């Protein structure tokens, strides 16, 4: 499973099913939909984590499926919030 | 304290005429008669002083004067200067009254970062501000010009200034700009409104400015919190539609309509997060001004 | 010539409590013109004067400081991207000027407003570096064939490259002066002495002495003296910081002699002393072993530079300022290219400027 590195501090806020994320490094602001708070909290508070850790942490929320996790991680990488670290 | 007519011309032509607008002080110089007339008409409620005998410390030293260019052969040209810097190309000299208004806005939007500056009109009632971000063509000017005749206080028709610390709006009430049909609409609806000179055939069409209400000028130091973000859109013959706008989308829209959101970095994001969190956000489509005014008078009072 | 109030504040000849309203007004306007508002903010902050500054003045100092903080943030982000490029290369990317001051944590970086990021690599590595920068999204901003040729044939840099999405601009150099300049130093000496930057991989900066010498060379050879006031302040900051960890300026002088750049260092020490009060012993200056202006040249250059190094604001000008700036502009071109190229080049530039196709 891949390891991810947090690229820097992110500020975010959620209203309903939408969240706005501010990337302090790139200065870009992003609007996202339907990304659970527990997922964002985990991704943005650890410097390094692997996908296994991530799944263990969000297991309590039954609504989160594999595809959602994968899509979210891909989005965060695109937004320069996370970096996939080659093993 | 008002200065006599002859003093205004003399000040403008020598050391300058100082005007206090909101918390700003402008020192204005111009040898153009149209600028003198425009200021006399539109700024009669403001405190105007002679720069030479008043405080020497101002925010902006601005100048609008004739310049000689190759184009002057066809049409005399005028240019706006902030302390020697000319941010815009020259324009036909008859547009000088509009040039100085645009230039005075530019000074604030290009130099100030102690406030989050949004390209939006902002008006106040019952202690709360309604901020209306709108790109050109949304009808924001006509709407603003009407609402301020219907009991709303004008804080600004172009630049909403949000104090980064207090999160309140700082007023910047200046002559409200109108274009093309809205000039006729406002003239017919509100015959008592004072109009400045009309600049015809500008890049935006016919442009003019109306004098801000005296009470708005009198209260230009009274800040207030934001109660509503309303995104207006004028559409010919459209039915009046007024509905809640998601706060996340509202934040993105406001950020897009801001001059210095990106410069402010994380602070800009935090400020918007807080003010939008506390305000009610709406989208608003209309074609009928009477109905629009009614919608505004019925806005839900913020907590 | 009377020094402007901005300079008098920076060199300590005036304290904030002595400033009249008129002088506060001029202070802001001169600082705005010279792009030194943010630097002034940090200057007042260090002296603990910020809370004594009139509100009208404070709001523009603060606004500029906020802007400079954002620029700092953006620069760090760009350098992170440059690290990725450096990884593909087997030589370091050497940052110059503002970008260098920032990554190396120099005092000169505080409050500085940047535009481009300047990078130095060996001459033989220019094409390769250009290639990898292009792979990473940078494109040349110069479309005019004449200008492309001019740059690659005569200059010490290739035309600026702009990032397609981020908008950042990179200036890639192979030396700190054009090939055509007599005093063009041996770039290998600069590259050899460059130092890695703590916290970054593959990113270097010039050695402490070379950073000062480069700053002096850029200022006293370049025609862009609209930034002269800012640049002399940068030099001052670099020299102060250098003096704090070096007992004397001897090493600086020895290096200037080795690189053959005695002239700009002479001017740097002279004018940093005249304008900002940085003390330089005559003994040090005498150790510069050649190329020093003598005789009538000295008062002539004083006449020119003491005008051109002031903020480009009307309150700092006298009757001769315009002429002084123009003479130095021509001089900078004359130093860079032979006369048979200079005249046609200046003609072409003037012609294109009238047509509005060029701004400098």
Residue A26 Cα, gap to closest chain C Cα (Å): 6
How far, CA to CA in Å, does A80 sit from each of A8, C88, C252? 9, 20, 42
CATH of the domain at A30: 3.90.930
Confidence of residue C342 (pLDDT cuts 50, 70, 90): low
Is the pLDDT assigned to residue B115 strictly greater than 90?
Answer: yes
Within 10 A of B289 (CB to CB), how many other CB atoms are there? 20
Which of B10-19, B131-140, C242-251, C309-318 is the least confident region? Answer: B131-140
Q: 3-state class of B177 per DSSP?
A: strand
Within 10 A of C3 (CB to CB), how many other CB atoms are there? 17
What distance in Å separates the CA atoms of residue C357 and residue B129, rounded to the nearest whole number? 46
What distance in Å separates the CA atoms of residue A21 and residue A10, rounded to the nearest whole number? 7
> Mean pLDDT over residues C232-261, rounded?
94
What distance in Å separates the CA atoms of residue A83 and residue B102, rounded to the nearest whole number? 45
Contact C70 B262 (CB under 8 A): yes
**What secondary structure letter does DSSP report for C177?**
S
**Residue closest to B206 by CA, chosen among B286, B296, B141:** B141
Residue given tokens 């330089």 in the structure block:
C280
**Residues in A 23-42 with any Cβ partner in B closer than 8 A:** 24, 27, 29, 31
> Mean pLDDT over residues C143-171, rounded?
81
Tens digit of each residue's pLDDT (9 = 90 or more) over B5-32: 558 999 999 999 999 999 999 999 999 9
Q: 3-state class of B159 per DSSP?
A: strand
Tens digit of each residue's pLDDT (9 = 90 or more) over C48-62: 999 999 999 999 999
Q: What is the pLDDT of residue B6?
A: 58
CATH of the domain at C72: 3.30.460.40
**Residue closest to C234 by CA, chosen among C130, C340, C114:** C114
Contact C25 B57 (CB under 8 A): yes
Tens digit of each residue's pLDDT (9 = 90 or more) over B256-291: 999 999 999 999 999 999 999 999 999 999 999 999
Confidence of residue A87 (pLDDT cuts 50, 70, 90): low
User: A78 — contact with chain C (CB < 8 Å)?
Assistant: no
Q: What is the pLDDT of residue C356?
A: 57
Q: What is the pLDDT of residue C158?
A: 85
- Could you list the residue range(s) of the whole structural domain that residue C220 is in? 5-354
Q: What is the pLDDT of residue B1?
A: 47
Q: Note whether residue C162 is domain-resident.
A: yes
**What secondary structure letter does DSSP report for B30?**
-
The pair of structure tokens assigned to B282 is 């709406």
Is the pLDDT assigned to residue B3 strictly greater than 60?
Answer: no
User: C224 — contact with chain B (CB < 8 Å)?
Assistant: no
Q: What is the pLDDT of residue C243?
A: 95
> Mean pLDDT over residues C171-191, rounded?
87
- Could you list the residue range(s) of the whole structural domain that residue A29 is in? 3-85
Is the pLDDT assigned to residue C360 strictly greater than 50?
Answer: no
What distance in Å separates the CA atoms of residue B116 and residue B164, rounded to the nearest whole number? 7
**Residue closest to A38 by CA, chosen among A73, A1, A3, A64:** A64
Is the pLDDT assigned to residue B128 strictly greater than 60?
Answer: yes
Q: What is the pLDDT of residue C357?
A: 56
- Helices C208-221, C250-259: axis angle to 10 degrees equals 60
User: Per-residue DSSP letters for C280-344?
Assistant: --HHHHHT--S----TTHHHHHHHHHHHHTS-SSGGG--TTHHHHHHHHHHHHHHHHS-HHHHHH
Tens digit of each residue's pLDDT (9 = 90 or more) over C286-298: 999 888 988 999 9
Q: Note whether residue C267 is domain-resident.
A: yes
List the beta bridge partners of residue A18: A15, A33
Q: What is the pLDDT of residue B204?
A: 77
> Mean pLDDT over residues C190-206, rounded?
95
Contact A31 B270 (CB under 8 A): no
Q: How many domains does chain A have?
A: 1
Q: 3-state class of A37 per DSSP?
A: helix
Q: Note whether residue C272 is domain-resident.
A: yes
For all residues of chain B together, what is the average pLDDT? Answer: 93
Instruction: Using CB atoms within 10 Å of the CB of residue B231, give its burial: 0 to 12 exposed, 13 to 18 middle, 19+ buried.
Output: buried
Is the pLDDT assigned to residue B245 strictly greater than 70?
Answer: yes
Select the more confidently predicted residue: C360 or C77: C77
Select the more confidently predicted residue: C222 or C22: C22
Q: Which residues of A touch C168 (CB under 8 A)?
A: none
Residue B224 Cα, gap to closest chain A Cα (Å): 24
What is the interface pTM, i.e. ipTM, of the complex? 0.94
Task: HSE, CB side, 13 Å, CA atoms: give it for residue C170.
Answer: 29
> Mean pLDDT over residues B73-77, rounded?
87
Is the pLDDT assigned to residue C355 strictly greater than 70?
Answer: no
Q: Note whether residue C360 is domain-resident.
A: no
> Mean pLDDT over residues B82-102, rounded?
93
For all residues of chain C together, what is the average pLDDT? Answer: 90
Residue B240 Cα, gap to closest chain A Cα (Å): 26
Q: Which of A8, A12, A13, A21 to mutate to test the interface with B (most CBs of B within 10 A)?
A: A13
- Helices B261-278, C55-88: axis angle to 10 degrees equals 110
> Mean pLDDT over residues A15-31, rounded?
95
Instruction: Using the CB atoms, write b or e for A12-35: b if 16+ within 10 Å.
Output: bbbbeebbbbbbbbbbebbebeeb
For C62, name the nearest residue in chain B, comparing CA atoms only. Answer: B114
> Mean pLDDT over residues C83-101, rounded?
93
Interface A-B, measured as beta-carbon pairs within 8 A, has a size of 38
What distance in Å separates the CA atoms of residue B45 and residue C183, rounded to the nearest whole number? 64
User: C81 — contact with chain A (CB < 8 Å)?
Assistant: no
Strands B60-67 and B77-82: antiparallel
Give all chains having 3 or more CB-to-CB distances under 8 Å with chain A.
Answer: B, C
Q: Note whether residue C295 is domain-resident.
A: yes
Contact C29 B61 (CB under 8 A): yes
Q: Which residues of A touch B275 (CB under 8 A)?
A: none
Q: What is the pLDDT of residue C354?
A: 64
Cβ-proximal residues to A67 (8 Å cutoff; 6+ apart), any chain: none
Domains of chain B: 5-111 (no CATH), 115-174+212-297 (3.90.228.20)
Instruction: Tell me the helix, strand and coil percentages in chain A, rounded to 5.
Output: 30, 30, 35
Is the pLDDT assigned to residue C359 strictly greater than 80?
Answer: no
Q: What is the pLDDT of residue C28?
A: 97
Task: HSE, CB side, 13 Å, CA atoms: give it for residue B115.
Answer: 22
* Residue length of chain A: 87
**Residue closest to B156 by CA, chosen among B213, B235, B88:** B213
Q: Which residues of A touch C76 (CB under 8 A)?
A: 25
């Amino acid at each position: 499973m891949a390891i991810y590195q947090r690229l820097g501090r992110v500020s975010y806020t959620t209203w309903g099913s939408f969240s706005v994320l501010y990337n302090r490094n790139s200065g870009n602001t992003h609007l996202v939909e339907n990304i659970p708070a527990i997922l964002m909290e985990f991704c943005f508070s650890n410097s390094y984590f692997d996908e296994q850790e991530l799944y263990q942490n969000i297991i309590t929320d039954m609504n989160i499926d594999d595809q959602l996790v994968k899509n979210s991680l891909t989005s965060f990488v695109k937004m320069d919030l996370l970096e996939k670290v080659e093993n | 304290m008002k200065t006599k007519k002859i003093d205004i011309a003399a000040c403008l032509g020598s050391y300058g005429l100082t005007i206090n607008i909101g918390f700003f002080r402008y020192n204005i110089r111009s040898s153009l008669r149209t600028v003198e007339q425009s200021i006399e008409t539109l700024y009669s409620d403001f405190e105007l002083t002679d720069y030479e005998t008043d405080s020497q410390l101002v925010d902006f030293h601005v100048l609008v004067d004739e310049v000689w260019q190759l184009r002057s052969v066809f049409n005399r040209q005028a240019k706006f200067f902030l302390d020697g810097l000319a941010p815009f190309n020259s324009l036909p000299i008859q547009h000088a009254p509009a040039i100085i208004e645009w230039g005075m806005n530019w000074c604030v939007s290009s130099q100030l970062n102690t406030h989050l500056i949004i390209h939006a009109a902002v008006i106040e009632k019952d202690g709360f501000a309604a901020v209306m971000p709108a790109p050109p063509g949304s009808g924001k000017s006509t709407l603003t010009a009407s609402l301020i005749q219907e009991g709303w206080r004008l804080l600004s028709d172009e630049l909403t200034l949000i104090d980064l610390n207090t999160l309140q709006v700082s007023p910047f009430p200046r002559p409200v700009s109108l274009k093309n049909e809205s000039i006729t609409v406002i003239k017919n609806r509100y015959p008592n409104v004072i109009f400045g000179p009309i600049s015809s055939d500008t890049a935006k069409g016919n442009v003019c400015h109306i004098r801000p209400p005296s009470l708005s000028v009198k209260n230009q130091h009274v800040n207030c919190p934001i109660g509503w973000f309303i995104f207006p859109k004028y559409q010919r013959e459209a039915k009046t539609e007024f509905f809640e706008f998601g706060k996340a989308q509202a934040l993105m829209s406001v950020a897009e309509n801001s001059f210095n959101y990106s410069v402010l970095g994380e602070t800009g994001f935090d400020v918007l997060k807080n003010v939008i969190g506390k305000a009610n956000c709406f989208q608003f489509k209309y074609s009928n001004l009477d109905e629009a005014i009614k919608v505004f008078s019925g806005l839900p009072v913020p907590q | 010539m009377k020094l402007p109030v901005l300079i008098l504040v920076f060199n300590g000849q005036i304290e904030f409590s002595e400033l009249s309203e008129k002088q506060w007004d001029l202070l802001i306007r001169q600082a705005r013109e010279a792009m030194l508002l943010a630097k002034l903010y940090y200057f007042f902050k260090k002296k603990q004067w910020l809370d004594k500054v009139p509100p009208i003045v404070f709001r523009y100092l603060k606004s500029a400081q906020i802007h400079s903080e954002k620029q700092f943030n953006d620069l760090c982000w760009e350098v992170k991207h440059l690290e990725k490029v450096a990884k593909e290369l087997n030589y370091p990317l050497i940052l110059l000027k503002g970008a260098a001051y920032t990554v190396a944590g120099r005092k000169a970086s505080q409050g500085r407003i940047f535009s481009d990021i300047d990078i130095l690599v060996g001459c033989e590595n220019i094409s390769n570096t250009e290639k990898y920068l292009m792979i990473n999204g940078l494109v040349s901003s110069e479309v005019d064939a004449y200008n492309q040729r001019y740059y690659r044939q005569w200059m010490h840099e290739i035309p600026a490259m702009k990032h397609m999405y981020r908008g950042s601009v990179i200036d890639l150099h192979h030396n700190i002066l054009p090939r055509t300049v007599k005093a063009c130093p041996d770039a290998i000496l600069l590259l050899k002495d460059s130092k890695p930057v703590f916290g970054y991989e593959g990113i270097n900066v010039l050695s402490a002495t070379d950073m000062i010498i480069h700053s002096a060379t850029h200022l006293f050879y370049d025609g862009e003296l609209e930034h002269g006031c800012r640049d002399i302040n940068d030099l001052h900051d670099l020299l102060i910081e250098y003096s704090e960890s070096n007992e004397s300026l001897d090493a600086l002088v020895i290096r200037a002699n080795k690189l053959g750049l005695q002239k700009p260092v002479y001017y740097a020490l002279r004018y940093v002393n005249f304008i900002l009060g940085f003390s330089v012993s005559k003994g040090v200056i005498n150790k510069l072993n050649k190329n020093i202006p003598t005789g009538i040249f000295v008062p002539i250059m004083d006449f020119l530079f003491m005008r051109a190094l002031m903020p480009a604001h009307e309150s700092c000008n006298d009757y001769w300022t315009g002429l002084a700036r123009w003479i130095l502009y021509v001089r900078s071109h004359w130093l860079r290219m032979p006369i048979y190229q200079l005249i046609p080049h200046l003609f072409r530039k003037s012609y294109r400027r009238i047509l509005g196709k060029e701004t400098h």
